[in-house]
Amino acid sequence: MTQFLLKRVIQAALVMFIISLFCFSIQGTLGDPTRELAAQSMSVEERANLRESLGLNDPLPVQYGRFVKRALKGDLGTSYFFKEPTLTVILKKLPATLELSFAASLIIIFVSIPLGVFSAINPRHWFSRLVMAVSVIGISIPVFLTALALIFVFSINLGWMPSFGRGEIVEVWGYWSTNFASWDGIVHIILPAISLSSIMLPLFIRLVRAEMLEVLSSEYVKFARAKGLPPMPVYLKHALKNTMLPVITVGGVQIGIMVAYTILTESVFQWPGMGFMFLEAVNRSDIPLITAYIMFVGFLFVVVNTLVDLLYGVINPQVDLVGRRQ
């Protein structure tokens, strides 16, 4: 176990090293800080002095060392546009994105598990066939199109739901702003959450169904049925438990991937989260904010993936963690 842990941590560190190198090189080639800091009238000499004092003439490894040291302290530069430390800007936008992902995950869990289980238990039922057919179509519809169609139907034609923004948000504990504390906030989060979940739903329904089908044909389920237990408790208590294991691990990885889709969803709904902020930063050429976002999201991915791997090793002892040769 310790060996596996060590291996994973080293790999995570290596990936973070590559990401930081990547960000460092972007910052070096794209953003000339003196152009942003200096006034138009600055002489060439003053500019050279400024470069020297900022350490831009040092050898690259030295500059990279400084970049990493600052990043470890949480200093990822200052945004050109917001005139604030980039990490502060990102952390301010984080609750919006996390709440959106959370709401979407709730929808995924409460829709995919019942549908997947039902269509595994009754594979020939018309409703199961419908679910499978719809899930093929669902996979083929890009998330931004779902979002636009929802806006068209529910906001523009029916006027039931708002189409942009977070609505009324409530501050909790001073630094977290939540959508779930007011009716207006909840109404605002519904359409974005449905759009975001739409991309993952078909995948999860199919996954739950496939895993459930496999478990249902296993010996212990057959035995439980043969023993005379009624079908429903067998399905829900015996079978479902073992179905959840792969679903949890795949789900963990998918949550990381969801971050990418929040960019699309947030841009359609103008949801003031990290993804929308990133797109605006790209349009404004706000290089420090772009690199900070990449570092932050990269870190998030690495942490989530490492945790999921470890979790998988803990709950499924069959996995040979160290990868020894047989």
Partner 1 sequence: MSALAVNWRRLRESDLVHYYKRDKVAIAASAVFLILALMALFCPLIAPFDPYDLTQIDLLDSELPPVWLHGGDPRFLLGTDDQGRDLWSTILYGMRVSLLIGICAVLLQAAIGIVVGLFSGYVGGRVDNILMRIADVQLSFSTLMVAIIVLAIVKNAFGGETYSNWAMLILILVIGIAEWPQIARTVRSSVLAEKKKEYVDAARVMGFGPIRIMFKHILPNCLSPIFVIATVQIANAIITEAALSFLGLGMPVTEPSLGSLISIGKEYLYSGSWWITLIPGGFLVVIVIAINLMGDFLRDVFNPRLYKG
Interface residues toward partner 1, by CB under 8 A: 11, 15, 26, 29-30, 136-137, 139-145, 148-149, 151-152, 156, 163, 253, 256-257, 259-261, 263-264, 267-268, 278-279, 282-283, 285, 287, 290, 294, 297-298, 301, 305
CB of 316 to partner 1, least distance (A): 18
CB of 129 to partner 1, least distance (A): 11
CB of 290 to partner 1, least distance (A): 7
Tell me whether residue 100 or residue 263 sits nearer to partner 1 (CB atom): 263
Tell me whether residue 234 or residue 313 sits nearer to partner 1 (CB atom): 313
Residue 291 exposed, middle or buried by CB count within 10 Å (0-12, 13-18, 19+): buried
CB of 274 to partner 1, least distance (A): 12
Tell me whether residue 32 or residue 182 sits nearer to partner 1 (CB atom): 32
In angstroms, the Cα distances linking 275 to 87, 260, 301 are: 14, 8, 15
CB of 239 to partner 1, least distance (A): 21
Residue 85 is classified by DSSP as B
DSSP per-residue codes, 245-291:
HHHHHHHHHHHHHHHHHHHHHHHHHT--SHHHHHHHHHHTT-HHHHH
Tell me whether residue 15 or residue 107 sits nearer to partner 1 (CB atom): 15
| Helix/strand number for the chain, H first, E second | 13, 2
CB of 174 to partner 1, least distance (A): 31
Tell me whether residue 224 or residue 309 sits nearer to partner 1 (CB atom): 309
Tell me whether residue 177 or residue 262 sits nearer to partner 1 (CB atom): 262
Distance between CA atoms of residues 237 and 230, nearest Å: 11
3-class DSSP state for residue 29?
A: helix
CB of 13 to partner 1, least distance (A): 12
Per the CB < 8 A criterion, the answer to whether 279 and 263 are in contact is yes
Q: How many CB atoms lie under 10 A from the CB of residue 136?
A: 10
Distance between CA atoms of residues 63 and 128, nearest Å: 59
Tell me whether residue 135 or residue 179 sits nearer to partner 1 (CB atom): 135
